[in-house]
Structure 1
């Protein structure tokens, strides 16, 4: 393998490593959020919401549990700078990176043909 091909291969591995490193905290936040909401731990779920999303619910701790969110197998994670989308079985979540870490901006989201997602919880 030539020097140029080796450099390109190394750059690709480094880039993949960075993308993978970005996905880990996003996935962890989404899984912790869905687990807390699905298991009736509304207070813990609300702590993982973006402030605007938490404020959009009249009684966050009760409402977040009543939405019917459930943990599921992660089917895909996309990260674009400070924004991310996590697709799990039966749900899509959108997250934003804040100074203290990733928070859920929208959950219980379903795609709609040629329109924005329809979300149960949103900012």
Structure 2
């Protein structure tokens, strides 16, 4: 039989781990916000090559695959914009809200990359995104 104190300590440690796993660090939120801002600025400035470099490999490939042309030619820069307002992170996923919608990001060892952008919430439907 386990000692009652050991059971309480184990439960306390498990509870702390769950709470900490759900918390986003301010640094992670800031890093995600910075990446989204760089992506949006590159798109706004017409630097689609720089914007594409900030996309996840899958998103970049999906965008290029649609027409068989490079990402930089296919990126709908005219549908991407906004100013970063807030960010939420969960483990290796982030949602950065802008004054024109949202940008979704995925964390990699090298940092945050954009997985979807130009996203606007639909009525009782998933976000509709220009990219992703």
TM-score computed with the length of structure 1 as normaliser: 0.78
Say yes or no: does 1:63 pair with 2:43: no
| Conserved? CA contact 2:48–2:77, under 8 Å | no
| Conserved? CA contact 1:38–1:68, under 8 Å | no
| Conserved? CA contact 1:83–1:95, under 8 Å | yes
Which structure 1 residue ranges, 4+ long, deviate > 2 Å from structure 2?
65-68
User: Do the aligned partners of residues 119 and 65 (structure 1) sit closer, same or farther apart at CA in structure 2, a change above 3 Å counting?
Assistant: closer
What residue number does 2:89 align with?
79
Deviations 1:16-48 (CA, angstroms, capped at 9, x unpaired)? xx6211111101100000000110001100000
Consecutive unaligned residues in structure 1, runs of 5 or more: 1-14
What residue number does 1:36 align with?
42
Query: Displacement, 1:63?
Result: 2.2
TM-score computed with the length of structure 2 as normaliser: 0.73
**Counterparts of 1:79 and 1:26, CA distance in 2:** 8
Figure out how many residues of one structure are paired with residues of the other and give that number.
106
Q: CA RMSD in A?
A: 1.8
Consecutive unaligned residues in structure 2, runs of 5 or more: 1-19, 65-69
**Counterparts of 2:88 and 2:77, CA distance in 1:** 27
* Farther-moved stretch of structure 1 (27-36 vs 111-120): 111-120
Deviations 1:33-87 (CA, angstroms, capped at 9, x unpaired)? 0000110001100000001110111331122254421241x22211111000000
Q: 1:119 aligns with which of 105, 111, 129?
A: 129
| Conserved? CA contact 2:79–2:130, under 8 Å | no
User: Do the aligned partners of residues 62 and 112 (structure 1) sit closer, same or farther apart at CA in structure 2, a change above 3 Å counting?
Assistant: same
